[in-house]
């Protein structure tokens, strides 16, 4: 059955920067292929910046625009109205899609006093914006700032055809590069004037020594040190400024790397970025074998260079810790071979991540020498990289992913967040892997002896197997787990007990637990809990189960399954968000579904409901709430797709557009009792049928709710009970 794909109007701003102009055009062409309407706004067509801004505002007021894409380095990000105390993007009367292809805030001028206002602005737009980031630490930071809808993406490439290689270059680098670190003192007093310059310089040299060194960790430590507060908004702003400055040092970082290469020749296309701002002095690396070529903005030429180099070199900008930059994607798309500094996201992009990456300058020199003389192996790797990139890094695939996130029928919760703490290389399926080491499968690299990198009340479930004994401060561990969990979240802990040998046999175990340890955190043992709170514990857990398990070799584990308990008043904003995002109307009717039933049965039942309610005279005042709490993870077709297919069938066969002109349909996941108590007063009743979700009905005590059958519903009308309550009679 063909899916009903809704068409939208997108506003996309072009850019003066060649790379962002490519990106904006890539999005434009992919969206147009899917039938969406694009208003492509080019500020360079206007006589002044103010004229361009006024024209942009007029367009958004005069035309119906569903979404506006905002890319790094765009006019609406850089333009700030001092009189209004706001950025231009704040006063656009459309929903905003931020595409952070650079680190957040990096395209702003840090010396500008409005730099810090940017972070306040994106928080104010929380309910009308989505953020898509290529750098993983940006996702965590935005969530810690309270930004709700943040997602990870990879770069895409418009290069689609593999070009036959003539091996014009042995080793080439396309991009901005400057002489070594010492040149900074001669040419860039602005960078030196930053108070954090010497701290960032230390990070610079740490990255030289170990190319997998994480700049973010140093930035956070510096920001906490000068801000004296781990959570203050200014701490985040200082952290972003640190990362911004690191990025400014990137051309010199590349110069240091290239100075240490042992290959006989490297061809640099571009070099000094001064030409962008009209600076004509060419700062060049003074080394034998370094050959410079003029910069090019023609990406057909760039495509050719990538394909006609035996080895393309990538040296990632310092602001990125995990992201794979667009140069890597473009080289792969063009069919070229690349050597790039190691980034953890490489694993998710290509199966040849080990072959094309290096973690030290010594490894880079070795691989350059090796691949220059092993052509067959080099070409095989390039072919595999090309196939991987072509499969998953197209603009069509990228925009499909973005649209799926911004238009899903239920915006309440994109996905339940389940964490596997200390997952190592064996992350549990369906969980986000967290570990201090960047094993394959680890999603978030974090030191759990510090503040956990997740917002308050954000996690649905935690699995902590053989990890908490490696964390020295037991109160910190249990406080942080409690802090990041939602009310009634489940915490599953497995830890070696002091009743066996396992607690003491491993030299890295630094805290010790037994079955009595968990009494200090549990409501069932109030005297222990009160004592623990006097020590500094801030939370409360309820014991679901507490047991011991024999593991062999006289090793005994304690398994504690805990439920997180939090006071109702701490969740008022969370529950209010739930009400807003469920799109409730005057009359709200619940449909409880057992998703283990045959798909044909569910489709037939939902189709009958949608026909009945789509023809109801009061349909514009009715919301159908569909229960998806027991939807299996491996369910073949999503509820949204089922509804879309039914809706399309009704349009084609009965000329009935139930979604655009009729009843509201929204999904809700598994609710806690507190959440259910919040929304139950808004629900008139539920539709009775044979295949209901009995577990949800029992757990939320829905048995006494008014029941409707389809035949009676069609004849009932909306009746106002009191000022705020409506029903069907």
Please state the separation of Cα 11 from the chain's center in Å: 22
47 versus 590: which is more confidently predicted? 590
Per-residue buried b or exposed e for 207-236, using 16+ beta carbons within 10 Å of the residue's own CB: bbeebbbbbbbbbbebbbeebeeeeeeebb
CATH class of 9-152: alpha beta
What are the extents of the domains in the chain? 9-152, 169-396, 418-566, 583-728
Residue with tokens 């829905």: 702
> In this predicted structure, what is the pLDDT of residue 439?
79
Whole-number Cα distances in Å, 458 to 373, 417, 488, 593: 52, 7, 12, 26
CATH T-level assignment (fold) for domain 169-396: Rossmann fold (3.40.50)
Task: Categorize the per-residue pLDDT at 556 as very low, low, confident or very high, splitting at 50, 70 and 90.
Answer: very high
Beta-bridge partner residues of 9: 37
Q: What percent of the chain has pLDDT over 70?
A: 86
- Look-up: residue for tokens 């050597």? 339
CATH of 418-566, one of 3.40.50.720, 3.40.50.150, 2.60.120.10, 2.40.30.10: 3.40.50.150
- Give DSSP secondary structure letters for 500-517: SSHHHHSTT--S-B-TTG
- Rounded to the nearest 5 degrees, what angle is found at the Cα of 518, between the Cα atoms of 516 and 521? 130
User: For the segment 340-398, what is each residue's pLDDT rounded down to a tens digit?
Assistant: 999 988 988 999 999 999 999 999 999 999 999 999 999 999 999 999 998 888 899 99
What's residue 652's pLDDT?
A: 62
Residue 298 phi, psi (nearest 5): -90, 110
- The CATH number that domain 583-728 falls under is 3.40.50
Does position 3 have pLDDT exceeding 70, yes or no? no
- What pLDDT score was predicted for residue 571? 46
* Of residues 30, 11, 80, the one with CA closest to residue 50: 80
Among the ranges 11-15, 118-122, 275-279, which has the highest mean pLDDT value? 11-15
Q: Does pLDDT of 243 surpass 80?
A: yes
- Looking at residue 48, its pLDDT comes to 79
Region at 664 (left for phi over 0; alpha for psi -120 to 50; beta for the rest): beta
pLDDT of residue 386: 93
In this prediction, residue 649 has a pLDDT band, given cuts at 50, 70 and 90, of confident
Q: What is the pLDDT of residue 708?
A: 84
Q: Is the pLDDT of residue 181 over 90?
A: no
pLDDT digits (tens, 9 = 90+) for 498-530: 999 999 999 999 999 999 999 999 999 989 999
pLDDT in tens, 657-697: 666 666 788 877 666 666 676 677 788 888 888 778 777 77
Nearest by Cα to 223 from 213, 211, 214, 232: 232
Distance in angstroms (rounded) separating the CA atoms of residues 679 and 709: 22
Pick from 91-95, 129-133, 496-500: least confident: 91-95
Average the pLDDT over 108-136 and give the result: 76
Burial of 157: CB neighbours in 10 Å, binned 0-12, 13-18, 19+ = buried
Q: What is the pLDDT of residues 10-20, one digit of tens each?
A: 999 887 777 77
pLDDT for the residue 407: 73
Confidence of residue 162 (pLDDT cuts 50, 70, 90): low
What pLDDT does 723 receive? 63
Among 1-5, 291-295, 687-691, the range scoring the smallest mean pLDDT is 1-5
Chain-wide mean pLDDT for the chain?
83
Helix residue ranges, H only, 431-501 = 474-484
Q: Where are the beta strands (DSSP E) in 205-358?
A: 266-271, 290-293, 309-314, 338-341, 357-358
Q: Over 60: is that where the pLDDT of 1 sits?
A: no
Same fold yes or no, 169-396 and 583-728:
yes
- The pLDDT assigned to 569 comes to 38
């Amino acid at each position: 059955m063909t899916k009903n794909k809704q068409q939208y109007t997108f506003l996309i701003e072009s850019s003066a920067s060649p790379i962002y102009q490519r990106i904006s055009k890539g999005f434009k062409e992919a969206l147009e292929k899917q039938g969406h309407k694009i208003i492509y706004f080019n500020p360079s067509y206007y006589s002044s910046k103010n004229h361009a801004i006024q024209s942009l505002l007029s367009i958004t007021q005069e035309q119906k625009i569903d979404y506006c894409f905002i890319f790094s380095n765009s006019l609406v990000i850089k333009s700030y109205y001092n009189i209004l105390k706001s950025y231009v993007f704040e006063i656009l009367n459309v929903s905003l899609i931020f595409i952070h292809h650079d680190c957040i805030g990096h395209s702003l001028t840090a010396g500008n006093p409005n730099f810090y206002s940017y972070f306040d602005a994106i928080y104010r737009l929380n309910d009308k914006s989505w953020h898509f980031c290529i750098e993983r630490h940006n996702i965590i930071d935005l969530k810690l700032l309270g930004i709700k809808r943040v997602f990870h993406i990879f770069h895409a490439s418009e290069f689609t055809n593999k070009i036959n290689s003539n091996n014009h270059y042995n080793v080439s680098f396309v991009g901005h590069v400057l002489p070594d670190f010492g040149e900074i003192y001669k040419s860039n007093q602005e960078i030196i004037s930053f108070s954090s310059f010497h701290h960032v310089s230390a990070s610079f040299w740490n990255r030289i020594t170990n190319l997998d060194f994480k700049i973010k960790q140093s930035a956070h430590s510096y920001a906490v040190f000068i801000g004296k507060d781990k959570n203050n908004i200014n701490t985040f702003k200082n952290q972003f400024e640190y990362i911004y400055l690191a990025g400014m040092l990137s051309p010199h970082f590349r110069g240091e790397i290239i100075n240490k290469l042992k290959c006989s020749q490297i061809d640099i296309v571009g070099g000094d970025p001064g030409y962008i701002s009209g600076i004509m002095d060419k700062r060049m690396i003074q080394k034998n074998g370094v050959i410079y070529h003029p910069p090019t903005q023609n990406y057909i030429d760039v495509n050719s260079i990538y394909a006609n180099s035996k080895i393309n070199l990538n040296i990632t900008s310092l602001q990125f810790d995990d992201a794979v930059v667009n140069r890597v994607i473009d080289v792969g798309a063009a069919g070229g071979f690349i050597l790039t500094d190691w980034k953890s996201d490489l694993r998710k992009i290509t199966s040849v991540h080990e072959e094309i990456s290096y973690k030290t300058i010594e490894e880079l020199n070795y691989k350059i020498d090796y691949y220059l003389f092993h052509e067959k192996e080099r070409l095989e790797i390039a072919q595999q990289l090309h196939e991987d990139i072509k499969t998953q890094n197209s603009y069509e695939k990228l925009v499909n992913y973005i649209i799926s996130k911004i238009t899903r029928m239920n915006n309440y919760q994109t996905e339940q967040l389940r964490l596997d703490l200390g997952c190592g290389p064996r992350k549990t399926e369906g969980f986000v892997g967290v570990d201090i080491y960047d094993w394959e499968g680890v999603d978030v690299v974090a030191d759990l002896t510090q503040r956990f990198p997740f917002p308050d009340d954000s996690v649905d479930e935690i699995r902590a197997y053989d990890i908490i004994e490696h964390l020295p401060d037991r109160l910190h561990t249990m406080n942080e787990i409690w802090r990041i969990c939602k009310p009634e979240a489940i915490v599953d802990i497995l830890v070696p007990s002091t009743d066996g040998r396992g607690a003491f046999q491993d030299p890295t175990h630094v805290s010790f637990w037994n079955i009595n340890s968990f009494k200090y955190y549990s409501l069932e043992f109030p005297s222990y809990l009160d004592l623990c709170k006097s020590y500094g514990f801030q939370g409360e857990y309820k014991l679901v189960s507490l047991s011991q398990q024999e593991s062999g070799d006289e090793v005994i584990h304690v398994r504690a399954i805990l439920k997180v308990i939090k006071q109702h008043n701490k969740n008022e904003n969370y529950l209010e968000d739930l009400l807003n995002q469920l799109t409730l109307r005057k009359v709200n009717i619940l449909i409880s579904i057992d998703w283990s039933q045959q798909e044909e049965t569910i489709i037939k039942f939902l189709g009958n409901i949608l026909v009945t309610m789509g023809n109801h005279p009061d349909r514009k005042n009715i919301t159908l709430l569909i229960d998806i709490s027991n939807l299996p993870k491996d369910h073949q077709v999503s509820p949204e797709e089922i509804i879309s297919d039914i809706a399309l069938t009704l349009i084609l066969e009965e000329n009935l557009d139930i979604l655009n002109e009729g009843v509201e349909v929204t999904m809700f996941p598994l609710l806690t009792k507190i959440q259910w108590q919040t929304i139950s007063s808004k629900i008139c009743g539920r539709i009775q049928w044979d295949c209901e979700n009995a577990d949800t009905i029992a757990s939320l005590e829905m048995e006494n709710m008014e029941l409707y059958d389809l035949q009676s519903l069609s004849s009932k009308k909306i009746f106002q009970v009191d000022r705020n309550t409506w029903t069907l009679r």
